[in-house]
Amino acid sequence: MTTHPRLLPSLARFLNDDDKDAKDVQKLLAGLQGVYIHSYGFKHEHQYAEADLDSIRKQLKDANWGRIVQSVNHDGGERDEIYLKNTTREGDSNGLVVLVAEPHEFTLVEIAGKIDPKDLGRLDGALHFRHSGRADKDDADEN
């Protein structure tokens, strides 16, 4: 999924005007330049090359990017990484990348533009973004 920068303000129109968080989310969307989600699923475990993931990580070793989260689940074979791009003296974040590698799938999410990591939950709640391979407890109960 790729969201063109000119379409981001249009997403805000789908928000419920009665929702108290709608204005905050509209402001958040106004600071974004794009949202890019690439998810690849595979029939067999580790069918993708580790070199593909290393290539992405190498691009994120730029001086402006910093890894803020790395989580490895040795039992399930999942690795999660979150990177922030800081390009101002004040340390404001101008981008975020999430890389999730699982045995049958890997997903790359890039949010370009001004983003405060604490606002991600608000964006998810308002626009109902969900990782297709996971469900939290509330989602699992609905199925």
Q: What gap in Å lies between CA 138 and CA 143, rounded to an integer?
A: 9
According to DSSP, residue 13 is labeled T
Enter the tokens of residue 74: 């040795």
On the question of pLDDT at 137 being above 60, the answer is no
Of 57, 35, 33, the closest CA to residue 106 belongs to: 57
Position 132 scores a pLDDT of 38
Query: Residue 68 CA to chain centroid, in angstroms?
Result: 13
Residue 72's DSSP bridge partners are 79
pLDDT digits (tens, 9 = 90+) for 70-126: 999 988 889 999 999 987 777 678 888 999 999 999 999 898 888 776 776 665 555
Long-range (24+ apart) CB contacts under 8 A made by 139-143 are none
- pLDDT-derived band at 29 (thresholds 50, 70, 90) equals confident
According to DSSP, residue 62 is labeled S
Position 20 scores a pLDDT of 63
Position 19 scores a pLDDT of 64
